[in-house]
Chain A
Amino acid sequence: MANSNLPRRIIKETQRLLSEPAPGISASPSEDNMRYFNVMILGPTQSPYEGLGSWRSPSTSSCGVVETGGVFKLELFLPEEYPMAAPKVRFLTKIYHPNIDKLGRICLDILKDKWSPALQIRTVLLSIQALLSAPNPDDPLSENIAKHWKTKEAEAVETAKEWTRLYASGA
């Protein structure tokens, strides 16, 4: 009912997300709201967010659940002004990361002032995946985590791994 008048752009983006998913990313619209997507991102390899059993590099291109962890659930919403305004995204899985807060909100420039209408859901999710590989404690959303990261990086990385094991086990 709510999906009449869905812009062609959103329909096309959705189709392409489903037919040619980006590696390690899946996004599918919710049944009753085509602007609302369930998203899963696999923690990138060699980051504290990768699945613990995945050093042998299992086929991450499949969107199936990797049992050993490193699967992060997110939600994404395309507001009325999209694509003139950025999509809204947040993590639903708890994650220990200096640019992500307790409510899963993400500090990422292309979601704010660097948004461009030529960007897409796919590029946004790829950027978020890249953010997991390259945390930026100089532009933090969680002050404490950022401080931890800057003063005792090894310890912070261990905490991030621990959280990945505890919360991102693909439940």
Chain B
Amino acid sequence: MCFLFQKSYTVLKEEDILHRQEDDVTRVSTVLSITRVAASILLRHYNWSISKVHDAWFADEDAVRKSVGLLDKQVVQLSNARELTCGICFDTFPCDKIISAACGHPFCNTCWSGYISTTINDGPGCLMLRCPDPSCQAAVGQDMINLLAPGGDKDKYSRYLLRSYIEDNRKTKWCPAPGCEYAIDFAAGSGSFDVSCLCSHNFCWNCVEEAHRPVDCGTVTKWILKNSAESENMNWILANSKPCPKCKRPIEKNQGCMHMTCTPPCKFEFCWLCLGAWSDHGERTGGFYACNRYEAAKQEGAYDESERRREMAKNSLERYTHYYERWASNQSSRQKALADLHQMQTVHLEKLSDIHCTPESQLKFITEAWLQIVECRRVLKWTYAYGFYVHEHEQAKRQFFEYLQGEAESGLERLHQCAEKELQQFIAADGPSKEFDEFRTKLAGLTSVTKNYFENLVRALENGLADVDSHGACSKTTSSKNAVVSKGKGSKGKGGKIGGSSKNGDD
């Protein structure tokens, strides 16, 4: 468990990929004493696995040469004629104008060029190009491509070769974010599949959906399928506005946290999720800042049997709606938080630094708070998919899960509110103030507590809430709350402390 957060992957830029590809080709070429072109053809054929190339080659070199098309001698006897006939256009050419692959089948420059160009424009199959003679297996490698293909086609071929290196290799994948050109090299056997690309997209290595800890890939697939099946029913939820529960004017949610305030003169404060008055949000909803409970109260009431059955059908949709709405809300909250983070980094930090005579390096706690919010929104979002599927019949686990989720939610709301609303006064301030230092302590403290709590939550859920009886997870959070002191946060501190507390949880 201690290695859980050790980075098990490398992000590769284009030059890194080319570099690695070159290195692999060099290794195979050196070990097998074959040309680099031949080594490249071999590697492509064996999905860029050096060990597979070596195994196959040393087991039966002749068979490998035959199937890959690396002939070690010509099949066509060279005649002494000074002219040869091209096998495609049937024209005769002086010998020096005729080109052949290793097999010796003669074709002219123009026909080679047409042949190669046609194949390249047919797609990545051009990487397995063979001699045009239909009975001949001789491979045509990149040296001939570079010699004979028209300029644009050479580039296309190189792209295909680069793509093949990532796509055919079991250890590498492209980052799935639209427009991102980085690839990920992933070391097998590590604990977590979460990958964070340099383009800032976080995704799951295994299923290539966005990062979804603590939920497993199977649940994510089910959930995404469910969402698309239900999407028609869900359309109304996706609408971005809701009427103010008091004055009925449409309210558009443009901020990250769930605490809404209607525009003046109404100013009614309510919860975006349940549309109840914010003042009602306290113990009953799982904490002042939270709204996590699915109201099953209707079902518990004094309904007769037929009434109940009718309600059940409606409730199954309502139940899904409940989870979906919260999943989607956290998703859009996360998007908003990302935008806010960006705004903070590009505009506000500089301003704050001026107003409060503090170097920007001392304002890192704000960036860290926002990064934490973004991450927590992601986790919280997926706990709703988790909640939809897990523990339907395990009352104790279910209650415990909802308790943990409620705590997580209220902790996050507190942090989000602090970073979003309380910060405003300092951006609008005229000069430095003592309150800013207090604010720093508060925000950094909240960030740390929330971070801790969510890391424990993720681990507890991945663990299937195995320690549900011991209540270890919640007592642990309380203790970590006490232990938190905001420090200079040079390191991300993802090491021993967390591992240690996880160990407690396992006890």
Contact = CB atoms under 8 A, between A and B. Distances in A.
A83 B88 contact: yes
Interface in A113-140: 114, 116-119, 123
B394 to A, nearest CB: 52
B141 to A, nearest CB: 18
B134 A119 contact: yes
A122 to B, nearest CB: 12
Majority secondary structure of chain A interface residues (helix, strand, loop or mixed): loop
A117 B88 contact: yes
Contacts of B114: 84, 117
B94 interface: no
A7 B87 CA distance: 14
B393 to A, nearest CB: 49
Contact of A7 (B89, B105, B107, B115): B89
20 contacts: A8-B90, A8-B91, A12-B90, A13-B90, A81-B118, A83-B89, A84-B115, A84-B118, A85-B118, A110-B134, A117-B88, A117-B118, A117-B132, A118-B87, A118-B88, A118-B107, A118-B132, A118-B133, A118-B134, A119-B134
A170 B473 CA distance: 89
A34 to B, nearest CB: 16
Contacts of B87: 118
Contact of B132 (A8, A9, A81, A116): A116
B237 interface: no
A59 B134 CA distance: 31
Given A114-B134, A116-B133, A117-B132, 12 more contacts: A8-B89, A9-B91, A12-B90, A81-B118, A83-B88, A83-B89, A110-B134, A116-B132, A117-B111, A117-B115, A118-B105, A118-B134
B88 A9 contact: yes
A117 B129 CA distance: 13
A114 B90 CA distance: 21
A123 B88 CA distance: 13
Nearest to A85: B118
A83 B111 CA distance: 9
Interface in A1-51: 7-9, 12-13
A63 to B, nearest CB: 23
Pick from A114, A119, A123 the residue with the most CB of B within 10 Å.
A119
